Amino acid sequence: MMADNAFQELRVGFTAAVSHELRTPLARLLALLESASLPGTDTDELLGQARVEVEQMTELVDDILFLSELESGRAVVALGGTRVAPIVEGVVAALQQRVERAGQELVALVEPDADVPLRPRMLRVVVENLVTNTIRYAGEGARCAVSARREGDIALLSVADNGAGVPEDELGRLFERFYRGDRARTTHGTGLGLAIVKHVVTQAGGEVDARPGPDGAGLEIRCRFPR
């Protein structure tokens, strides 16, 4: 009974959070549509802004559905091992233009034989979310390094940057659903990317944590998997 009550509270809280997160872009979209009816408005500009809001809502819905699949166990996370290098190379190539527009640098430092106990699709989800998090929040001039290597019986996958960083008292909350620090509130994002990373990694038997970057600046997120 206690477990049922806890699940009910979690579901109610999640539903309320989803409603809140959708309400904000919906309100902005409504304001844009109302502005479009005023004389002398630049409709092309308003339509462009409206498209951004719709894309943000679509991304949010997609992330919610994917997270639901993970939590219900319908999405298979671990199935054998996957070499990290080809997946990272694909993600780096796909996101390179976004990285350049953000004025950042993205590099891969992956050992050729590094592998993790994730399906290729799930590994791609993890790397994409971690790199996208850096693009959104590290700031202009940041350098992001995606690395993977063996450390004894552990396979380590990490994404580290030397950018704006996160206050120490917020590090433990980064993996909460819909959590955004003060800096993140000014950017577009669903607030679910790192929560998805945590679910994928933990379902594969791994651990994930956030800490300051290697030189004490920026942010590093480390995913550790038993081999």
73, 204 Cβ separation under 8 angstroms? no
Phi/psi at 10 (5° precision)? -65, -45
* Three-state SS at 141: coil
Q: Could you read off the pLDDT of 36-75 as tens digits, one per residue? A: 777 777 777 878 877 777 777 776 776 666 666 666 665 5
Per-residue confidence band for 21, with pLDDT thresholds at 50, 70 and 90: low
Per CATH, which fold does 2-72 belong to? Helix Hairpins (1.10.287)
Per-residue confidence band for 185, with pLDDT thresholds at 50, 70 and 90: very low
Same-fold call for 2-72 versus 82-226: no
User: Beta strand 219-226 with 154-161: parallel, antiparallel or unpaired?
Assistant: antiparallel
Domain boundaries, the chain: 2-72, 82-226
Determine what percent of the chain is predicted with pLDDT higher than 70. Answer: 75
Q: What is the pTM of this model?
A: 0.70
CATH of 82-226, one of 3.75.10.10, 3.30.565.10, 2.120.10.90, 1.10.540.10: 3.30.565.10
